[in-house]
Every structure is written in structure tokens, then in C-alpha cells.
Amino acid sequence: MTETEEKLARIYEVGYQIVPTVKEEDLEKIVGTIRSEIEKMGGNFIAEGAPSLIRLAYDFTIKEAGKQVDYDRGYFGWIKFEGSVAAAHMLEGSLKKDQDVMRFIVFQTVKEDTRAKYKAPTLREVKRTDTIKSTPRRGAVAEEEKKGPVSEVDLEKALQDITND
């Protein structure tokens, strides 16, 4: 790559996952470190997605304090910025060294908002002119409904028959 190509400003996005053991109040400090790295390299912010705890599709193993640790969750966030090719490479290098970042990706993108828009389903109104008649499933129930209300004496007798069986 030539020197002029390295200095040419491009649009990048960095997606990152922070280990879930980090306290929520410390997340801003870690994200602030990523932002300051971008600013140090002359980058300009375009958009950002604050990190939120998500469940991972599969367990992710990293080495912490000399032992393997599996995580099934992580704080995912992203930052879109404008910067040089060299700035993107330097950002990758600093993220590799950060112990709180499980994994990350830096890629070239476009300035426009490319996220898929959620479109609420349109509900269509159905007007019914006829009434719905319920049909009993069992014949015995239909016969009881035709007889009318049940007296207290019949109800007590039916309860006695059920509990004595």
C-alpha cells in the first residue's frame, strides 16, 4: 500500500465484545478507551451502539490469568468512524492487547445507516356482519344446556354422587 493510500480517509466500523465479568459501571471506561484510541489516530465518529449484554451463539474460550475460561455471554457494542487505513490497523493492534475485549472486528463500510429497519406488521381490520355461534363438542353438554338452569338441590346431589365414588 502506498503512503497516500494509507492516509486516505475511509469509513470503518469496529464491532467488539467485552467480557461479561466487567461491571456495567466500568463499561463506559472501556468504550472510552476505544474512542480515545480512534481520536488519537485522527478518526472522526459517525455513529455508535452502546454495549449491551447478549447471549452468544456458542461458548467462547479465552485465556485469563493462565487458564482457559468459557463465556456464553458478552457485552456487544460498535462504533462507526472515519479514519485512515493506518488508524484502522493501529486500532486492531490496541484491541488485541486489551484484556477486557474478548473479540472484535474492524471492517470498511459506508457512511449511510445500513442497519435493517424493523417494520411493524400492518394489521388489517376485518369486519364481521354475522355472529359466531358456538357448537358444543359433546352431545351431553348440549342436552344439559337445553334444560335450563340447575337447581341447588340437583347441584348438591350431583356433588354428593361425585365425592362418594
The pLDDT tens digits of the residues spanning 39-77 come to 998 888 899 999 999 999 999 888 888 889 899 999 999
Domain assignment present for residue 19? The answer is: yes
Domain assignment present for residue 64? The answer is: yes
- The stretches in the chain having pLDDT less than 50 are none
pLDDT at 35: 93
Q: How many domains does the chain have?
A: 1
Residue 13's domain is classified under what CATH number? 3.30.70.60
Q: What does DSSP assign to residue 42?
A: T
Domain of 18 in residue numbering reads as 3-108
Q: Any alpha helices (H) in 100-151, and if so which ranges?
A: 139-147
Domain assignment present for residue 119? The answer is: no
Domain assignment present for residue 144? The answer is: no
pTM score above 0.75: no
Q: Any alpha helices (H) in the chain, and if so which ranges?
A: 3-7, 24-40, 85-97, 139-147, 152-164
pLDDT at 162: 85
Domain assignment present for residue 59? The answer is: yes
Domain assignment present for residue 84? The answer is: yes
Domain assignment present for residue 141? The answer is: no
pLDDT at 146: 63
pLDDT at 106: 93
Domain assignment present for residue 150? The answer is: no
